[in-house]
Amino acid sequence: MAGGYEQYREDVVGRANVADTPELIAYYERLKKQGTGALWTVANKIEPWEPVTSSVPMLWRYRDLRDDVLRALDLVTPEQAGRRVVYLENEGRSDVVAAVGWLYSGLQVMKPGECASSHRHSASALRFIMEGSGAFTNVDGHKMTLGANDFVLTPNGTWHEHGVSEDGTICIWQDGLDIPLMNALEANFYEVHPELNQAVSFAVDDSTATWAGAGLRPAGMAWTKPYSPLLKYEWAPTYEALSRYAKVTDGSPYDGVMMEYVNPHTGGPVMQTIGASMQLLRPGEKTRAHRQTGSFVYQCAKGSGYSVINGKRFDWQERDIFVVPAWMYHEHANGSASEDACLFSFHDLPVMRALGLYREEALADGDGHQPILA
Ligand SMILES: [Fe+2]
């Protein structure tokens, strides 16, 4: 009976399977009046057999978005807007302004000489630089200069501001945050810095100078904060590390040659709630499909190719962004027979792992490849 109390019935042993009767309906209505309900009418809905996501796989083409992102330069100032950003809205998650799951993503644009006001928030944030020169971020007094494909952290609770130097060019970067998660947890605070811009308290780029030595750490240096002291991960050493690793490994059948950005102090994820990776697909490489708990935002950092997500093909090239919702099969292919392709991604796996929820599963059928749905 559509719209009745029995709409989630399942004829499976161990699951709720109660047919509506006039007597039960009267009972349910009495319960409702008292702010209660019978669990068996909703149990199968609220405890699905496996994760259910309202997010859909989506891809945003940079070449389609770029003009409108640049248009924002003429329409609002950073002072008016706070942050001049075009956000990516998942069709199934517009109510929480998420790009996928509990993750937010947007494209921020700034021109030379501009600097957004300093602030801090409960959400953990990152940026991945898409284009331009002269961009900088100041995190708790650590000023960092940023170039294309650099990845920078602004962890939960740190004062931060972004800008572009006078001698730079218009810069666009992807902002990634866990704003929807913070709101879901009802733990989100936001503060504007009492002074518009905070001081630069350390030598510029001191975080990479101190913590970016591969296999080396600064002697006697204490670090007690719950995020990576290496606030910036530059593209050139990242690509070099991947290229070197690719010479000695077959890589993962699902992800190709993949490396995680880590906190050099712990070897763990860069922030408490958000992790990030860079993966390299060799020329012509096609991975097999798997699915994971957790949500992923990808940005193509180099080359071109496609990913099949839940049976749908998404073609990508440099700077395109796409998302893989939780527990959806996905596989990646490098479209070039001669050049490698690189995918940056960030995700909420640190949350999944901390809560004991991480799970992954390979696609058993179809030789590991999904049928492409029309
Ligand atoms: Fe921020």
Distance 351 CA to ligand 1 centre (A): 20
Question: Residue 196: what pLDDT?
Answer: 85
**Could you read off the pLDDT of 291-335 as tens digits, one per residue?**
999 999 999 999 999 999 999 999 999 999 999 999 999 999 999
Give mean pLDDT, residues 143-163: 97
Distance 356 CA to ligand 1 centre (A): 28
Using CA atoms of 214, 215, 219, 224 in order, give the dihedral in degrees to the nearest 10: 80
Distance 271 CA to ligand 1 centre (A): 15
Nearest of 287, 293, 282 to residue 324 by alpha carbon: 293
Distance 338 CA to ligand 1 centre (A): 39
Using CA atoms of 94, 96, 97, 103 in order, give the dihedral in degrees to the nearest 10: -120
Distance 287 CA to ligand 1 centre (A): 35
CA atoms within 13 A on the CB side of 31: 13
Reply yes or no on whether the pLDDT at 2 is more than 50: no
Lowest mean per-residue pLDDT among 138-147, 213-222, 317-326: 213-222
**Could you read off the pLDDT of 167-192 as tens digits, one per residue?**
999 999 999 999 999 999 999 999 99
Distance 163 CA to ligand 1 centre (A): 12
Distance 94 CA to ligand 1 centre (A): 20
Contact 109, 127 (CB under 8 A): no
Give mean pLDDT, residues 202-219: 95
Give Rg (Cα) of the chain. Answer: 23
Give mean pLDDT, residues 115-127: 96
Distance 33 CA to ligand 1 centre (A): 44
Distance 171 CA to ligand 1 centre (A): 17
Distance 181 CA to ligand 1 centre (A): 15
Distance 135 CA to ligand 1 centre (A): 15
Question: Residue 366: what pLDDT?
Answer: 87
Question: Residue 1: what pLDDT?
Answer: 45
Distance 156 CA to ligand 1 centre (A): 9
Distance 78 CA to ligand 1 centre (A): 13
**Could you read off the pLDDT of 253-269 as tens digits, one per residue?**
999 999 999 999 999 99
Q: Is the pLDDT higher at 365 or at 67? A: 67
Distance 175 CA to ligand 1 centre (A): 9
Distance 343 CA to ligand 1 centre (A): 24
Give mean pLDDT, residues 226-239: 98
Give mean pLDDT, residues 123-146: 98
Reply yes or no on whether the pLDDT at 17 is more than 60: yes
Proportion of the chain above pLDDT 90, given as a percent? 95
Contact 311, 372 (CB under 8 A): yes
Distance 239 CA to ligand 1 centre (A): 27
Distance 160 CA to ligand 1 centre (A): 6
Distance 125 CA to ligand 1 centre (A): 7
Distance 193 CA to ligand 1 centre (A): 11
Give mean pLDDT, residues 275-282: 98
Distance 178 CA to ligand 1 centre (A): 11
Backbone CA torsion sign across 58, 61, 66, 68: negative
Distance 263 CA to ligand 1 centre (A): 20
- How many C-beta neighbours within 10 Å does residue 355 have? 9
- How many C-beta neighbours within 10 Å does residue 311 have? 14
Residue 71 bridge partners (DSSP): none
Confidence class for position 3, pLDDT limits 50, 70, 90: low
Give mean pLDDT, residues 97-108: 98
Reply yes or no on whether the pLDDT at 112 is more than 50: yes
**Amino acid identity at 18:** V
